[in-house]
Amino acid sequence: MATSPSPSSTAVGGGGNAKIVWNESQNRFETEDKKAFLEYEVRNGGKVMDILHTFVPSSKRGQGLASHLCISALNHAKAHSMSVIPTCSYVSDTFLPRNPSWNSLVYAEDLKSSI
């Protein structure tokens, strides 16, 4: 399949009703209204995605939106052969234990960055 040049913000899906977009310039995966987001830092020369923070507005919590953000980010990491550091506690303590198939992507066995 042909691929188009990568714009700064690319629709990447995410499941459910929420459309998740990749905001490459701000290192985020976010909803179109930008109110819910997952923020990351790229480390080790592009080989590692350190997931720093996940945020969902209180009115939208408990509906799996954070997990859709995670799936978009982890799919991106997998597609780019990156491993993942789950610095964000939502990812390490909730998402990964509930979705253990993603554990194979975790860098150096749950190592968290010092941020």
| Residue from 61, 80, 103, 110 binding ligand COA (CB under 6 A) | 61
Contact 23, 29 (CB under 8 A): yes
Q: Is 65 in the site for ligand COA (CB under 6 A)?
A: yes
Measured from the CB atom, the residue of 89 and 103 that comes closer to ligand COA is 89
* CA–CA gap between residue 24 and residue 102 (Å, rounded): 22
| Residue from 31, 54, 72, 83 binding ligand COA (CB under 6 A) | 54
| Cα atoms in the 13 Å half-sphere on the side-chain side of 48 | 16
Tell me how many residues contact ligand COA (CB under 6 A): 16
Active site residue 70: no
**Angle at Cα 53 formed by Cα 47 and Cα 54, nearest 5°?**
115
Min CB(46)–ligand COA separation in Å: 23
